[in-house]
Amino acid sequence: MSCSVLGEVFGVIEQRKREMPENSYVAELMRSGEEKILRKLNEELLEVVLACRQGRKELVHESADLLFHLMVLLSYHGVSLSEVCAELERRRR
């Protein structure tokens, strides 16, 4: 199964990072720096853990938030989604 929307979302994150529009949540996170992004990622991870007890719908919703914020962190550090995918491919062998 392929999840091409991850690549699309990552592309939008990269665009927001380059352009830094005023009303962009991603740009706000990028301007705030690594510590804010890490705090948000930690918060989302906790919400995933809690969602495990709340049901499938909540787990899916919170997992999407976690993946989004992880991609923001990757972009902040200049790590591409394709690098992560390549590492997963390497490990699969």
Tens digit of each residue's pLDDT (9 = 90 or more) over 28-51: 999 999 999 999 999 999 999 999
Q: How many CA atoms lie within 13 A of 92 on its CB side?
A: 6
Q: Is the pLDDT of residue 3 over 90?
A: no
Q: Is the pLDDT of residue 83 over 80?
A: yes
Q: Taking CA 84 as the corner, what is the angle to CA 79 and CA 86, rounded to the nearest 5 degrees?
A: 125
Q: Is the pLDDT of residue 87 over 90?
A: yes
Task: Say which residue the tokens 């199964």 belong to.
Answer: 1
pLDDT of residue 2: 64
Q: 70 with 63: CB under 8 angstroms?
A: no
Tens digit of each residue's pLDDT (9 = 90 or more) over 49-81: 999 999 999 999 999 999 999 999 999 999 999
Nearest Cα neighbor of 30 from 75, 70, 62 is: 75
Per CATH, the architecture of 4-92 is what? Orthogonal Bundle (1.10)
